[in-house]
Amino acid sequence: MAILENVRFVDLVDDAPIRYTTISSPIGRLTLVGDGEVLTHLSMESHEDTKPEIGDGWKHDRRAFKEARTQLNEYFAGKRDAFTVPLAPSGTEFRMKVWAALCAIPFGHTATYGEVAAAVGNPAASRAVGMANHYNPIAIMIPCHRVIGSNGSLTGYGGGIDRKVQLLELEAPQQELR
């Protein structure tokens, strides 16, 4: 698995106002956070570990993230297999490498923690890859749900294994999941 060089990770302007909105999806309510176009967080209703706390000065904006909302709706309708929304996750250098590697896992495919670790140049870092997945701030668009155990098992997912199964089945309905 090659790491994509063109993953759209961007930097936000430091003084950009933070906006957020929520949308309904087949896997529950999703919260989108960023500057209104660039995403810094996409979390699921019960995904507490990476769910941003609504900060002072944040503006709820139902019109924000028009392109992200459109692409997510297309994804859940089975009409989109890649996202082009600019993303601005914040994390350590290692986590950023892992998140870029996750974006290189093709729609409808999975990779093991070990394969992702090898892709970022540290084949012994399977557990660290798991922690990077745990702290992934932009669920679904940075597809940590595509990472599985070395034996093919569906190991942990912050949104819950049931949601991981839903996402993988959406992406590969003909594939039998363990």
Instruction: Please tell me the chain's helix, strand, coil percentages from 3-state DSSP, rounded to the nearest 5.
Output: 30, 15, 55
Residue (of 42, 32, 88) closest to 64 by Cα position? 32
> Residue 108 burial (CB < 10 Å; 0-12/13-18/19+)?
middle
State the sign of the Cα–Cα–Cα–Cα dihedral 51, 53, 58, 60.
positive
Q: Which of 72, 117, 132, 144 is catalytic?
A: 144
Is 103 a known active-site residue? no
**Residue numbers annotated as active site:** 144
